[in-house]
Copies of this chain bind each other. A is one copy, B any other.
Amino acid sequence: MTEDRVYNFSAGPSVLPEAVLQRARAEMMNARGSGMSVMEMSHRSAVFSEIFAETKEKLRCALQVPESHEILFLQGGATLQFAAIPMNLMEGGTADYAVTGNFSSKAAKEAEKYGTVHIACDTSDTGHNRIPVQSELSLTPGAKYFYYCANNTVYGTEWPYVPAAEAPLVCDMSSDILSRPVDVGRFGLLYAGAQKNMAPAGLTVVIVDRALAGHALPFTPQVMSYETLIQHDSMLNTPPCWCIYMLSLVLDWLQEQGGVEGMEQLKRERAARLYACLDESRLFHAHALPGSRSDMNVTFRTGDAELDAAFVRFAAQRGLVNLKGHKIAGGMRASLYNAMPMEGVDALIDTMKEFEKNHV
């Protein structure tokens, strides 16, 4: 790291590639010869229209999004999608929700306002430390969709497979999008808040099968109707232009690193190193069970809350920050998103070993 920067293990908003920040800085006062910052551009201007179209195309290429699916650049975060999804897709019927963590639980609760929610599985009995196998999923015949969250940021678990369901798959990929190839055509809708693997907070990417649009409940706000948003190419109103521009820079960087295939190799390597350290440790242990472990958010603990806090402080003094776990899970969490350099993981492992030497 240069410029007195730290290793930032925040779960989101989170680390961005240093090269991306440097490019944004260089273009801050005058982007693409426009004489203005991207932050000052009309969203209808020629230069921003170019940025918008390019970003969409880069994302389509990076994830190989089929033409059947539209890419939307929205606001409001995953939390607004918790409502938008049932408002658009539920039609007052039943939807199946797999509850494997904090955000899928919230999504299921919100959906109850708009139709019947059937809980397809619930792993809260074991502290959400695992992902159920396919045969454990209770599916409703004729369900409007099957909803799950691919990676559970809070508990550190990640679905190792794409579930099979007759209903369209709806997936929250907020914390692992762009970290691996995805067969987008298998999904009715996938979406992600940008602030983990894509861009600064304030952008939500929704990728939706156009065939599913057009069934919004009558009280759906216009700016939450997928049909309307598709018709207006995400520009019913002013989009979060700066975040879209930042995503564009991140996608350029991602391409230079080998695309999502390159990201997958890196994430496997980062996580393998850290889990190996945890499995060998006499002080720290991983929260998630093998087979369900997340490559993106590694949750671990000592079993002693005071010792956990001491470790978080110890690491922060060494420039490794935001390792405190989510308040509802406790312990530690190291988020290893695309932009986390391997050196950051190695520095964390060294720090854990040093701390362990003093505390076992």
Contacts and interface: CB of A to CB of B under 8 A. Distances in A.
B39 A200 contact: yes
Interface string A2-28: 011110101111111010011011001
Contacts of A224: 80, 83, 221
A40 interface: yes
Contacts of A18: 29
Given A75-B77, A82-B223, 10 more contacts: A4-B35, A10-B40, A10-B42, A16-B39, A24-B28, A28-B28, A45-B322, A80-B223, A200-B241, A217-B219
B39 A21 contact: yes
A157 B74 CA distance: 30
A34 interface: yes
Contact of A28 (B25, B75, B193, B243): B25
A242 interface: yes
Number of copies: 2
Label chain A's interface by main secondary structure.
Answer: loop
A180 interface: no
A43 interface: yes
Interface of A: 3-6, 8, 10-16, 18, 21-22, 24-25, 28-30, 34-37, 39-43, 45, 75-80, 82-84, 87, 110, 113-114, 193, 195, 200-203, 217-219, 221-224, 236-243, 246, 319, 321-322
A95 B3 CA distance: 55
Nearest to A246: B39
Contacts of A3: 29-30
A234 B265 CA distance: 38
Given A200-B242, A202-B242, A319-B35, A12 B80 contact: no
Contacts of A110: 221-222
Contact of A14 (B25, B40, B236): B40
